[in-house]
Amino acid sequence: MNDFPLLRTFHQDFRSHEEVNVEISIVSHGFNVVPLFWREHRKLPRFDKDHLIRLCTVFISVAEIFDRPMHNGKAWVNPISANLRVVVLRLILFNVPMNYSHDNWSAILAHIGKPEELDTSARNAGALTRRREIRDAATLLRLGLAYGPGGMSLREVTAWAQLHDVATLSDVPLLKRLRNAADWFGILAAQTLAVRAAVTGCTSGKRLRLVDGTAISAPGGGSAEWRLHMGYDPHTCQFTDFELTDSRDAERLDRFAQTADEIRIADRGFGSRPECIRSLAFGEADYIVRVHWRGLRWLTAEGMRFDMMGFLRGLDCGKNGETTVMIGNSGNKKAGAPFPARLIAVSLPPEKALISKTRLLSENRRKGRVVQAETLEAAGHVLLLTSLPEDEYSAEQVADCYRLRWQIELAFKRLKSLLHLDALRAKEPELAKAWIFANLLAAFLIDDIIQPSLDFPPRSAGSEKKN
């Protein structure tokens, strides 16, 4: 740390704070953004308010590092190459130091909407019906962010709000206000994504959209009570859609609105419902979805049963193959007639196939199941179903597109590890929704705030003269 005066000053200034949260991203040659999280706790009886407000404006732009700087004798950042740039992108906006600055809150509010617009939307959503304890919608939103991404309990939020003249109320009225504001928080999060889509939408060509869901459990619960369904754009590395349901609502490939320039990509969890695939096959969007060899009713063009294992066994060793199949309605006549689709079989390398088969055997052994020989044989292939035409997209190109699906998995991990979306604090359904939506809104705002810093590769430290 001694070799980096900016970082040293930053660290020393914040040593006197009660709690400091800093999110850091490592950018290697302008690519591969790796978010990290650094947290330090300090306990002091009193604060210097003016000093804290001044420190809230500190922003360390870029510092070159070539080794591991040490923090309290431990590696502060693990370098991933010989030349890394550390960019302090933001301070957590809702913890104790940042909340002293009303100017900073105004800057955050500017990314959401004007105060009068917030008041109108809150009234329409039924979130702001009384103004006795909470004066306006912006104050209600600030309390929701303090409770959600701020990591405070209801009593801590009320104490903080009274200490800093934000609002004066007890924890029970706050609970009722946040519970009534749950849908409004969701509307604000959806509006944030809508504005982003209008700015970053593609003007030509196809746009990839990864879809997946993640489970969120209530505190003390053994099973998931909520399922968060989301869409993700791997080009911008940002979420595009979301919907919160209970755990009984299954994943659907057609959950979000379709666009003509879209290729929707999903894993095997989405490939077992032919009616969902049908809605895309006859809709505007194209799709790439991984399927199980027995997950659908496979038919030939003549309506006969398609021999899936015969198709896989007929492939040359290590070669990919494809064919056109008909997808049946699984006995549900209301689901419509069979429809055509392009089936692609991607052969895994021998070492990858062995890993896949070993994992399959281990998982079924743990659950007390017996693996069929055909299932074990099919584990050496990745089966993809797509509507993309063969004359425009080769089998290799379709497989390459599907390989990007892991990015939404990493995005979920960032939500849960950095913003602690998996640490749901509330058991009451409406309060839990308010907590989740507030965290999503914070995540979307963070993406929008830091995106300009990631649009261009950062310049080397010292390339510009300091003022």
Amino acid 187: pLDDT: 96
What φ, ψ does residue 165 adopt, rounded to 5°?
A: 60, 35
Amino acid 466: pLDDT: 42
The answer on pLDDT for 300 being more than 70 is yes
Q: How far apart (Å, rounded) are the C-alpha atoms in residues 324 and 344?
A: 9
pLDDT above 70 coverage of the chain, percent: 71
- Name the least confident of 36-40, 155-159, 313-317, 428-432: 36-40
SS3 160: helix
The answer on pLDDT for 30 being more than 70 is no
Most confident of 47-61, 200-214, 228-242: 228-242
Q: How far apart (Å, rounded) are the C-alpha atoms in residues 93 and 78?
A: 25
Q: How far apart (Å, rounded) are the C-alpha atoms in residues 383 and 312?
A: 10
Amino acid 13: pLDDT: 40
Encode pLDDT of 112-130 as tens digits: 989 899 999 999 999 988 8
Mean pLDDT of the chain: 75
Contacts of 329 (CB under 8 A, 6+ apart): 274, 275, 297, 335, 336, 337, 338
What φ, ψ does residue 444 adopt, rounded to 5°?
A: -65, -40
29 — pLDDT class (breaks 50, 70, 90): very low
Amino acid 332: pLDDT: 63
SS3 147: helix
pTM, rounded to two decimals = 0.73
Encode pLDDT of 363-396 as tens digits: 899 988 888 889 999 999 999 999 999 999 999 9
CB atoms within 10 A of CB 331: 7
SS3 39: strand
More confident site: 335 or 10? 335
SS3 292: coil
The answer on pLDDT for 106 being more than 60 is yes
Mean pLDDT of 58-86: 33
Amino acid 273: pLDDT: 82
Amino acid 439: pLDDT: 94
Q: How far apart (Å, rounded) are the C-alpha atoms in residues 107 and 97?
A: 16
H-type alpha helices, 367-394: 373-378
- Name the least confident of 245-249, 289-293, 333-337, 442-446: 333-337
182 — pLDDT class (breaks 50, 70, 90): very high
8-state DSSP, 346: E
Core vs surface per residue 435-444: b (16+ CB within 10 A) or e:
bbbbbbbbbb
More confident site: 442 or 83? 442
Q: How far apart (Å, rounded) are the C-alpha atoms in residues 105 and 23?
A: 18
pLDDT above 90 coverage of the chain, percent: 40
Q: Can you give the C-alpha Rg of the chain in angstroms? A: 26
